[in-house]
């Protein structure tokens, strides 16, 4: 599985990345975490507001810093 955080590097995007990393670490699973900074690419994903979270290339959360439970739920759904 691959989780991507989409965001240009603003404080909210960094917060989102931290949430994702924490959940992945707590779950102790093999998950690839990436961060897309390039705006062109972010738009290609169809995202209008950042931060956004994509799992396996599909946008799941957009325009807010997700909670840990949200990420956990999403990760478990995609196992």
Partner 1 sequence: MIQDIILKAINGGIYALLDYLGAHVLTCLVPAFFIAGAMATILPKEKILKYLGKNSPKYIAYPLSVVAGLLLAVCSCTILPLFAGIKKKGAGIGPAIAFLYTAPATNLLAIIYTGAIIGWDLAISRILLSISFAVIIGIIISSFFKEEEEESKELVSKLIEEQRRMDGIDGLPLHKRIIKRLEYNRILIFFGILFLILIVGAWKVFEGIRVYGLVVLVASLLIVVKYWFKKEEIKNWLVETYKFFKTIFPLLLVGVFIAGVLTALLPEKILANYVGSNTVFANLAGVLFGVFMYFPTLVEVPMARMFLNLGMARGPLLAYLLADPVTSLPSLLVVRKIMGTKRTLVYSILIIIFCTISGLIYGFIIS
Question: How many angstroms separate the CA atoms of 29 and 50, rounded?
Answer: 26
Question: How many angstroms separate the CA atoms of 67 and 38, rounded?
Answer: 24
The contact mask relative to partner 1 for 3-42 (x = CB under 8 A, - = no) is ----xxxxxxx-------------------------xx-x
Coil, helix or strand at residue 3: strand
76 binds partner 1 (CB under 8 A): no
Question: Which residues, listed in sequence order, are joined to residue 58 by a DSSP beta bridge?
Answer: 55
> How many chain residues touch partner 1 (CB under 8 A)?
19
By the criterion CB under 8 A, which residues form the site for partner 1? Answer: 7-13, 39-40, 42-43, 47-51, 63-64, 67
């Amino acid at each position: 599985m691959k989780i991507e955080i989409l965001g240009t590097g603003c404080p909210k995007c960094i917060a989102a990345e931290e949430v994702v990393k924490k959940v992945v670490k707590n779950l102790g699973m093999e998950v690839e975490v990436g961060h897309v900074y390039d705006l062109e690419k972010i738009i290609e994903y169809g995202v209008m507001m950042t931060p956004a979270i994509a799992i396996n290339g599909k946008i799941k959360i957009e325009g807010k810093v997700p909670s840990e439970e949200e990420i956990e739920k999403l990760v478990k759904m995609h196992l």
